[in-house]
Chain A
Amino acid sequence: MRFDVRGHPVYAYGGSRAFDRERPSVVFVHGAANDHGVFAQQSRYSAWHGMNAVALDLPGHGRSGGDPLASVEALADWLRDVFDALDATRAHLVGHSMGALAALECAARYPERVQHLALLGPSAPMPVTADLLAAAAVNDHVAYELINGWSFAAASQLGGNEVPGVWMPGNAMRLMERTRDGVLSLDLLACNGYTNGVEAAARVRGPTLVILGARDVMAPPRNAKALTDALSDVRTVTLPDTGHALMAERPGEVLDELRKFLGPSPAT
């Protein structure tokens, strides 16, 4: 689906289903240098089981226009504008990595708008190593290679994708390579500069699901502890043998956790 936010076109994958205002909506927010496709399985399932799936391409990413936003706070405000553009008073919000930070901040700022909050691979803070920032700043391919090398657990590097025939690290690399110059750098700076995560978590009112990868070296589970401690109504799930690319490495388990969390869906 396509709609405008702040005068710029926004693309969101809706699982090949028309948006229906009578249905609950679940908004998916991707991470740095990614697009809607990282939530393909989870969003498609939602769309075919009673919900509107809104898997966004963030500004300057994928098929959405505009420039990438430079801070997590700006992303949070932009998500509120997405809700407005969809005429959605409330919606479920699911974010991964940088998208998890944006979803967290959005839920803290606009608690009346976020029904359920799901944070996949969050970290508070989310510091980015200087070498990675430096490589991204000059659009060096090494930045993608570092991220890819750190994003998948060892077993996932070797194979075993639940989506037959798709090699996870190769697919993730190609997706990052499609981002425009400068986008990854801005995204990483936004993650690195966000220091408000624990405070934001304390302001979240609704129920929150946190899904962590036990082998995540991009956002290690220990870095999410302060965040989960600050959330008042939280369920934390740690997936074994899983890295940062949770939705690719464990699509079925991530989906099952989201289904349990978001509750029974109306009949399709």
Chain B
Amino acid sequence: MERGGHVYSRLSNPTCAVLEERIAALEGGVGAIATASGQAALHLAIVTLMSAGAHVVASRSLYGGSHNLLDYTLPRFGIETTFVDPRDLDAWARAIRPQTRLLFGETLGNPGLEVLDVPRVADLAHAHRLPLLVDSTFTTPWLMRPFEHGADLAVHSATKFLSGHGTVIGGLLVDSGQFDWNADGVREKFPTLTEPYAGFHDMVFAEESSTAAFLLRARREGVRDFGACMAPMTAFHILQGIETLPVRMARHIENARAIVGFLREHPFVSDVGYPELPTHPDHALAARLLPRGAGAVFSFNLRGTREQGRRFIEALRLFSHLANVGDAKSLVIHPASTTHFRMSDEDLRRAGITEGTIRLSIGLEDRADLIDDLSRALSVASK
């Protein structure tokens, strides 16, 4: 690695590099690494920063897969996580230990759309000389650029809005370059970046680059050794998707707003959780951090039984029954039995999920057709 360039396609290749630079430009970061999935991006971030004995503080309102990784799998490798209510800043602070190496949350929590107060959580992290990693999958850089609010690292499941058509699986790990790994009180926390790495010619990554040390280690160790790289054809598809991201996101938001308006007036719907509604606990925060819109994925609760919920989903014709989100097509899922089914009842409750919770991902179709479909399915379910 004495020269630049692409030497082995697992480590880098020209098509993935274009995507990496493009998402870095969109986020306002220094660079990025394309990974096999969003899950791989999260794993890469964590294993680049810490080893056995380390600790993470994470929002409890996470995608089920992220929760699995942190709660069940990483403890087997000696990395523990404390989950906190993302709205409770004191809980974040109380959970920080001497071994803590990272704070982690989703810009919009899954599935309750808790808006992460990125500026305040970032301030807290930095006061403890720690970085903040956010999962920006639901917001994309079009709705929020988290580095401008203080986040240090971001992951995306590019499978979702970035690619936009549900045709490829990919992840992105983006580095803001803002966190100073070599600062006093920081460098001893992150020996992977500030001490010589025998696995790469004794390189001290924070000396090699003041700004991109994290990315250098992540690629030269994490991608090299764990191998969860993105296929170049996948990168091509995601690049195609990004070309239309602003147009699609605007339409996603317009459609979501229309359907939220429809559902909140429907007698068989008990409540709709969308941060633009005055009833949502994060309404004011969303207005500040998400002025373009609060995403196109949201949940609502039926006034009915679990069986009526099943009938509702099965009666839908235009919505596809899928665990994915961020597709051009509208999607519906029952989180308690699918994306979050491994969580205990108590964890479900804490994550704001009930047996009757329905999650929608609003696509790009004609909104009148979507409302017709929902109206008919609600009618079927309510009988």
Residues 6-22 of B at the A interface (beta carbon under 8 Å): 6, 11-12, 16-18, 20-22
Q: Does B5 contact A (CB under 8 A)?
A: yes
Taking the closest CB of chain B, its distance from the CB of A212, in whole angstroms, is 20
Residues 159-179 of B at the A interface (beta carbon under 8 Å): 176-178
| Complex CA–CA separation, A255 to B2 (angstroms) | 10
Chain B interface size band reads 35 or more
| Complex CA–CA separation, A176 to B7 (angstroms) | 30
Which B residues are CB-close (under 8 A) to A161? 4, 17, 21
Contact of A40 among B31, B201, B202, B209 (CB under 8 A): B209
| Complex CA–CA separation, A169 to B29 (angstroms) | 9
* Chain B minimum-CB-distance residue to A16: B202
Are the CB atoms of B209 and A174 closer together than 8 Å? no
Interface centre among A48, A63, A162, A171 (most CB of B within 10 A): A171
Given contacts A171-B30, A251-B4, contact A164 B20 (CB under 8 A): yes
Count contacts between A and B, CB distance < 8 Å: 107
Are the CB atoms of B17 and A170 closer together than 8 Å? no
Are the CB atoms of B210 and A44 closer together than 8 Å? no
Residues 260-274 of B at the A interface (beta carbon under 8 Å): none
Are the CB atoms of B31 and A62 closer together than 8 Å? no
Given contacts A13-B208, A35-B210, A175-B210, contact A167 B2 (CB under 8 A): no
Q: Does A134 contact B (CB under 8 A)?
A: no
| Complex CA–CA separation, A160 to B18 (angstroms) | 7
Residues of B within 8 A of A (CB): 2-6, 11-12, 16-18, 20-22, 24-25, 28-34, 176-178, 180, 182, 196, 201-204, 207-212, 215, 219
Residues of A within 8 A of B (CB): 13, 16, 35, 37, 40-41, 44-45, 48-49, 62-63, 159-167, 169-171, 174-175, 177-178, 251-252, 255
Give 9 pairs: A residue, B residue, CB < 8 Å, sorted on A. A16-B196, A160-B21, A164-B6, A165-B20, A165-B219, A166-B215, A167-B24, A170-B177, A175-B210
The 8 closest A-B pairs by CB, nearest first: A162-B4, A164-B12, A174-B177, A166-B31, A165-B20, A167-B24, A159-B21, A171-B30
